[in-house]
A = this chain, B = another copy of it.
């Protein structure tokens, strides 16, 4: 083995062991054995400090468990499958609030026993619900989920005006159909009519292309279409539309990725228009790269790397203290977000996936250098040596500022997804190195 291969093998070893520790942490501390689903507010040592259940994080944990169960041999364990099914059942029974919006919406947060606490007027709870249900369909074959849903005691009842109503009673692939039904609903909210989200229409609130929306929909297109020709056909135009919407965020003559643009791809006025979220741009980068590879689109592959990886890395990296800023203003003004200079775990996760994926495709050494730089910062700052899993929120200087492992926006998702993807990319790189 040469030195480069040794280096990759070292990355893989650490990443693999971090993934094992993260999975162990959530298996041990997050399962609610009384009401089902997952606790998501989990302290440094694993203690639950709040029993609220955040729907984004319930959905993401179901998805991640199923994906690990389905694709990684050492995680193909009953314990993981059962936990995923419990989370899926909890979501199906309790996530949907028929009275919210104009035709029902997923809650944002639920009490421990599943009562809706808060509903957001955005699409994201529904998006993570779709991700969860689709991946669950892939591991259960659905008959079982169907039974859990219809025979489960005391849960929410399907309402005529909610997607539950469309949930076919004896279909062959119930979760998948259910996921697609909700998917079609949220595509309608995004592309046709947002009024069902429940926001009042205000004359000064012009429609905005927020990077999160086409990214999320593109992610769902990938999720639903994987290995299914008919579904891929159905969502082909949507995938292409998402890519175009994402590309509209390349602004300032190709020198900046802006988080929000107008619906016709122009820069918006004020702070909103100037906002950069480097971690988000990097995540969009690897979404685009995946899409470009699948569609053999070399030009898109180049844009994904040059624009959505190089620009946010160059502008988003803190030259003084290392790490990636949370928010920046493209004109160098001070962002109005109080947490703008903090170093969050997830932008670093996205950067690791982005640069390793880009390197895997091109074998361009500077991309491996980028990966290495992010890797060094990430693994020397975020993992908790004592209790496992990662801290999520560091100061600009790199010290731990919020010490919990799970909170309203941090669950079993970015850390394991990043480690899982990087492990697989490194497996391929190392296998190729052995072959050569």
Contacts and interface: CB of A to CB of B under 8 A. Distances in A.
A303 B160 CA distance: 54
A117 B203 CA distance: 7
Given A334-B402, A339-B339, A402-B340, A271 B41 contact: yes
Interface in A385-403: 393, 395-396, 401-403
By size class, the interface of chain A is 35 or more
B202 A118 contact: yes
A333 interface: yes
B100 A200 contact: yes
B41 A336 contact: yes
Contacts of A338: 338-339, 342, 393, 401-402
A348 to B, nearest CB: 16
A51 B339 CA distance: 22
Given A41-B270, A100-B200, A200-B119, A336 B408 contact: yes
Contact of A97 (B43, B200, B272): B200
Interface in A101-116: 107, 109-111, 115-116
A402 B336 CA distance: 7
Contact of A43 (B99, B100, B333, B335): B333
A204 interface: yes
The residue in A202, A269, A335 that gathers the most chain B C-beta atoms within 10 A of its C-beta is A202
Contact of A407 (B50, B198, B336, B339): B336
Given A336-B408, A407-B336, A116 B202 contact: yes
Nearest to A43: B333
A52 B271 CA distance: 9
Contacts of A395: 395-396
Given A41-B271, A50-B271, A404 B336 contact: yes
A164 to B, nearest CB: 17
B41 A202 contact: no
A150 interface: no
Interface in A334-386: 334-336, 338-342
A241 interface: no
A205 interface: yes
Nearest to A110: B204
A32 to B, nearest CB: 14
A50 B396 CA distance: 25
A339 B337 CA distance: 10
A406 B200 CA distance: 27
A51 B402 contact: no
A6 to B, nearest CB: 39
A204 B99 CA distance: 13
Contacts of A118: 202, 205
A49 interface: yes
Nearest to A99: B200
Contacts of A402: 334-336, 338, 340
Contact of A205 (B117, B340, B403): B117
Contacts of A43: 333-334
A53 to B, nearest CB: 10
Contact of A116 (B204, B272, B407): B204
Contacts of A41: 270-271, 336
A292 to B, nearest CB: 34
Nearest to A51: B270
Nearest to A107: B202
The residue in A52, A110, A401 that gathers the most chain B C-beta atoms within 10 A of its C-beta is A401
Contacts of A401: 338, 341
12 contacts: A44-B334, A49-B270, A49-B333, A109-B204, A115-B202, A115-B203, A116-B203, A118-B205, A335-B402, A336-B407, A340-B402, A395-B395
Given A41-B336, A49-B270, A52-B271, 18 more contacts: A41-B271, A43-B333, A44-B334, A49-B271, A49-B333, A51-B269, A97-B200, A100-B202, A110-B204, A116-B205, A117-B202, A117-B205, A118-B205, A119-B202, A335-B402, A336-B402, A336-B404, A338-B401
